[in-house]
Amino acid sequence: MTAPAASPVRGARRAMIVAVVASLLVASLCGIVALLGGGFGDRQARIVATTLVVAAFGTSALCHLAVVTRAVRALGFAGLAASVVAAVAALWLVWGGDELFEGDGDGSVLKTLLVATIVAISLAHANLLLLLAERRRTVIRAGLGLTLAAIAVVATMLALPVITDGEVGDSEWYWRWFGVAGIVDALGTIALPVLALVLRGRGHEPAATDPAPTEPAATEPAATGTQPGSTGAATGSASSGPASAGNTTTGAATAGTASAGARADGAAAAPTAAVAGSDGAGGDDAGTPSAESDVAPVRIVLDLPADLVARLDAAADGQARDAAALRVLRNALVQG
């Protein structure tokens, strides 16, 4: 398959990275100029504050953009919205008054900034952890759910005192339970990625239910002519085809089909399992239904770039390309 064009999400990520780096550079230059020039007035302070706001917004946006192409994209867009609200409120406080942070008469802008910041940071945290949502290990899924719940509790317990002007959260036990949720949050944040890496490393071991490795189909004797009236025989694995750049095939579209003379009623025999063995070697002889005949064979044609073809040939180690591609695909599915 051909390489896809640069997606809008990739462009947005690059733009956020550029914005973060540029903002930090501007803030650093302003600090250097103030130190060497001997003056750091209100305007310089506003410029530095603005660049820090832009850097914070870009960093948060990068976390949210990590999931906008996945099934949990709604949380990514919600986090982007919260980040925008927080950035606008912060810029209003920086530039809205005669002096820095004096543009909020009744405190509503500051309250909006605090709540939006809590939501944006919490969703950024959750979105990074949701990159593990596709892992199939039960312990990863259970730990992820518990950690996400702790993140929600921490965010809620932080936002309530701000929204209610301190009416909620004036008891000692409130903050004790807040500490408990924070500990669970920190534990899951640290342990889940490490555990996912450990379990993924163990995934390279062959599963107990995998069939024993067999020799490639090319080494098996041909089954042609073993049945009366047969016009051909299936090999059980897809041929690699001509050695054109980037083309390889896994599975078989016609695996296990028997001739019309193999049955008394003249009907074609049911297809056998298209793939058997760890290296994609052939299955049963032609015309012999497999024990797994309810599994339909699949034919996959890959149009790979030249560099991936070279890597596939290196992984094949003298075997057919289809066998190597099938082994790589199966290992990827086993690792999850």
Same domain, 312 and 261: yes
Task: Tell me what the mean pLDDT of segment 59-72 comes to.
Answer: 89
Share of the chain above pLDDT 90, in %: 26
Return d(Cα 213, Cα 280) in angstroms, integer: 9
2 located within any domain: no
1 located within any domain: no
Same domain, 26 and 47: yes
Both tokens of 146, joined, read 């518990």
Same domain, 40 and 162: yes
| 301 three-class SS | strand
- Domain-terminating residue out of 202, 225, 257: 202
Same domain, 155 and 189: yes
Same domain, 136 and 53: yes
Same domain, 44 and 178: yes
Our count of domains for the chain comes to 2
Return d(Cα 325, Cα 322) in angstroms, integer: 5
The pLDDT value given to residue 20: 87
| pTM of the predicted model as reported, rounded to 2 decimal places | 0.56
Residue type, 92: W
Both tokens of 139, joined, read 């312990």
- Domain-terminating residue out of 202, 228, 244: 202
Q: Residue 225 is part of which domain span?
A: 209-336
Both tokens of 206, joined, read 């062959």
Return d(Cα 242, Cα 223) in angstroms, integer: 23
| 185 three-class SS | helix
Residue type, 281: A
Tens-place pLDDT, residues 290-328: 444 455 666 777 777 877 777 777 777 767 777 778 888
Residue type, 264: A
Same domain, 192 and 223: no
The pLDDT value given to residue 98: 66
Tens-place pLDDT, residues 231-289: 333 333 333 344 444 444 444 333 333 333 333 343 333 333 334 344 444 444 434 44
Same domain, 250 and 306: yes
Same domain, 85 and 170: yes
Return d(Cα 58, Cα 80) in angstroms, integer: 10
For residue 120, count CB atoms less than 10 angstroms from its CB and return exposed for 0-12, middle for 13-18, buried for 19 or more: buried
Helix pair 73-95, 42-65: axis angle to 10 deg: 180
Per-residue DSSP letter, 34: H
The pLDDT value given to residue 100: 67
Helix pair 321-335, 306-316: axis angle to 10 deg: 90
Same domain, 155 and 286: no
Within 203-320, where are the H helices?
306-316
The pLDDT value given to residue 297: 67
- Domain-terminating residue out of 173, 202, 231: 202
Ranges 146-150, 157-161, 185-189, 249-253: which has the least confidence: 249-253
* Signed CA dihedral, 66, 19, 124, 132: sign only: positive
